[in-house]
Amino acid sequence: MAQHKSAKKRIRQDEKKRVHNRYYKKTTRTAIKNLRDMTEKAEAEKFLPKVISMVDRLARNGNWHDNKAANLKSKLTRFVGGL
């Protein structure tokens, strides 16, 4: 267990960040799943920029690797284009 005051504070901060990051990751994964389940092209094209924005935000904050974000955006854009 942490002994120093700063270490205890760091543990509290890390727990808050973990819950926050977990929420945004799960929300983004759900949005991606919902996008892949869509069958109407117009609806998917409208929803795609929102999903790409969520993916970009996770990459910018370092929660996802930049290459993972790029691959996801590419695949999703190709999926919507193929509808």
| Whether pLDDT at 1 is above 90 | no
Give residue-wise pLDDT tens across range 21-57.
999 999 999 999 999 999 999 999 999 999 999 999 9
Q: Does domain 5-81 have CATH number 1.10.150.80?
A: no
Give the per-residue pLDDT at 44. 95
Nearest residue to 76 via CA among 30, 39, 44: 44
φ/ψ region of 64 (left if φ > 0, alpha if ψ in -120 to 50, else beta) reads: beta
